[in-house]
């Protein structure tokens, strides 16, 4: 399926009309921006780096929350620039901020012609596993239906940020396409597509938390 650049203007306007309720119940979201600094993450086609892609998406989530949602949610990033943050410090920050949701952003890589988005939750029966799966499915399904990414499913893993956060709040790690796939690497080079991916993630977090 061809990847699409979709701006959900009409649906966003409808959602904006529903604002004005529960103004005191601001939700606190921590977006964990994968890798950074000396840790480039995956390096893909034409030298595109995972750490740059996910930072661009995270910054766009912040911008959209401000410009479209009027700062409806308190959103914090684990890094705001090209810096290295230890995994334990990422989860420690989220706990100190008493996050309602923790979303870790990454990109995938493969020696094969792999493509698509997959979401990971912790491989245990910890407190927030069902909620984590629900959030992951929402982001996965909307990324497929609205943007055209192939769905690779919700999977289970023992990644450190999942292990340390899942008992604290709903937590997912999203692999947002393959930088080693030419179509997906090229997709992430365009600002309008970074906008589209960020918008899907932001809206599905809002829907999950009942912000709208």
Any domain includes 21: no
Any domain includes 5: no
- The total domain count for the chain is 1
Any domain includes 99: yes
Strand partners, 106: 175
Measure the CA–CA gap between 204 and 86, rounded to whole angstroms: 27
pLDDT for the residue numbered 158: 96
Residue 102, Ramachandran bin (φ over 0: left; ψ between -120 and 50: alpha; else beta): beta
From the list 2, 31, 24, the residue with the least C-alpha distance to 139 is 31
In degrees, to the nearest 5, what angle opens at C-alpha 43 toward C-alphas 41 and 47? 140
Placement of tokens 């949701």 in the chain? 101
Any domain includes 22: no
pLDDT in tens, 151-180: 999 999 999 999 999 999 999 999 999 999
Structural domain of residue 161, as residue ranges? 27-209
In degrees, to the nearest 5, what angle opens at C-alpha 192 toward C-alphas 37 and 103? 50
pTM score, whole prediction = 0.90
Which CATH number does the domain housing residue 126 bear? 3.40.630.40
Any domain includes 15: no
Q: Cα separations (Å) of 54 from 10, 35, 80, 144, 194?
A: 26, 9, 11, 18, 9
pLDDT in tens, 90-113: 999 999 999 999 999 999 999 988
Any domain includes 178: yes
Any domain includes 64: yes
């Amino acid at each position: 399926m061809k990847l699409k650049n979709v701006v959900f203007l009409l649906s966003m306007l409808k959602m904006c009309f529903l604002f004005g309720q529960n103004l005191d119940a601001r939700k606190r979201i921590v977006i964990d921006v994968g890798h950074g600094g000396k840790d480039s993450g995956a390096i893909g086609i034409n030298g595109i780096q995972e750490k740059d892609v996910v930072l661009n998406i995270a910054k766009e989530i912040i911008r959209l929350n401000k410009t479209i949602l009027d700062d409806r949610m308190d959103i914090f990033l684990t890094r705001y620039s090209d810096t290295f943050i230890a995994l334990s410090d990422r989860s420690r920050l989220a706990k100190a901020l008493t996050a309602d949701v923790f979303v870790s952003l990454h990109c995938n890589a493969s020696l094969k012609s792999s493509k698509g988005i997959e979401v990971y939750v912790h491989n245990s029966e910890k407190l927030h596993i069902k909620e984590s799966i629900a959030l992951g499915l929402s982001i996965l399904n909307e990324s497929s239906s609205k943007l055209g990414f192939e769905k690779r499913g919700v999977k289970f893993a023992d990644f450190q940020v999942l292990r340390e956060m899942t008992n604290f709040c709903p937590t997912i790690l999203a692999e947002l396409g393959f930088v080693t796939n030419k179509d997906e690497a090229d997709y992430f080079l365009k600002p309008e597509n970074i906008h589209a991916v960020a918008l899907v993630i932001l809206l599905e977090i809002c829907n999950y938390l009942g912000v709208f």
